[in-house]
Amino acid sequence: MLTCVEICAGAGGQALGLAMAGFVHVALVEYEKEYCDILKENRPEWPIICADVHDFDGKPYHGVDLFAGGVPCPPFSVAGKQLGANDERDLFPEALRLVREIEPRAIMLENVRGFLDPSFREYREYILRSIAHMGYDVQIKLLQASDYGVSQLRPRVVIVGIRNDEPGRFTFSYPAPHPEQTPTVGALLQDLMAEAGWKGVRKWAKQADKIAPTIVGGSKKH
């Protein structure tokens, strides 16, 4: 059994993916009450902790297999004004604190494409250097969700760190993209759109014969 601590769990999208990959959550931390309620309703067996990450103590979870989190992206997104480290929503410092406390076997952190902007180079290098100094082999890569079966344009930066004493740390590689296997929105949703007998579903599916744009909204102060 591979164990996982996840912060900034949101409504559970990343948590579902980790569960499908074989990880068992020992803690999911989420601040927004509405998201916590959704998580508890959909996955009552998950250990949901509805709290501010600043107040979360990682020491009781020392040595878990994976520490993961989609730390808030507005500090690095255009819509979020790209204030970076000066944005109160930036939780990278808390993520680093929790890595120090938990010392997991592996780390996975994701953020928006803007994190790779030249203006954040110094801060980005600081984050990666800090993880490396804590004893991890670190990689960073921009991944497109539509290259991996998701019918939406959603680029995300994924940081992976594997502890230096793990024998397989040098064999890790990001999965190969397969965009040709990703269905269009029309192909993916046509049967659901037709469930109530909507007669216009074929026309809609033809118009929706493409990958969807990024869905935006819902984040704090956005």
At residue 65, the pLDDT reads 97
Retrieve residue 46's tokens: 């998950």
Strand bridging mode 155-163 / 23-30 = unpaired
pTM score of the predicted model? 0.85
Please give the mean pLDDT across all residues of the chain: 89
CA dist 222 and 33 (Å) reads: 17
pLDDT of amino acid 123:
87
pLDDT at 145 over 60: yes
What's the rounded Cα separation, in Å, for the pair 222 and 217?
7
pLDDT value at position 217?
A: 64
Query: How far apart, in Å, are the Cα atoms of 200 and each of 128, 151, 184, 196?
Result: 51, 21, 18, 11
pLDDT reported for residue 134: 96
73 has catalytic annotation? yes
Percent of the chain with pLDDT over 90: 75
Please name the residue ranges forming H helices in the chain: 13-20, 33-42, 92-102, 121-133, 185-193, 201-207
Closest of 43, 51, 11, 50 to residue 24, by C-alpha: 43
Residue 136 backbone dihedrals phi, psi, to 5 degrees: -125, 145
Q: Which of 4, 8, 36, 73 is catalytic?
A: 73
Per-residue pLDDT, 209: 95
User: pLDDT-derived band of residue 84, with 50, 70 and 90 as boundaries?
Assistant: very low
Whole-angstrom Cα distance, residue 102 to residue 88?
24
Domains of the chain are 2-178 (3.40.50.150)
Q: Are 84 and 122 in contact (CB under 8 A)?
A: no
Q: Supply the pLDDT for residue 135.
A: 96
pLDDT in tens, 89-128: 578 889 999 999 999 999 999 998 888 988 888 888 999 9
> pLDDT (tens digit, 9 = 90+) per residue, 40-72?
999 999 999 999 999 999 999 999 999 999 886
Residue 92 confidence (pLDDT): 87
Does the pLDDT value for residue 218 go beyond 60? no
Which of these, 25, 127, 23, lies nearest to 71 by C-alpha position?
127
pLDDT for the residue numbered 3: 98
Query: Per-residue pLDDT averaged across 144-168, rounded?
Result: 93
pLDDT of residue 190: 96
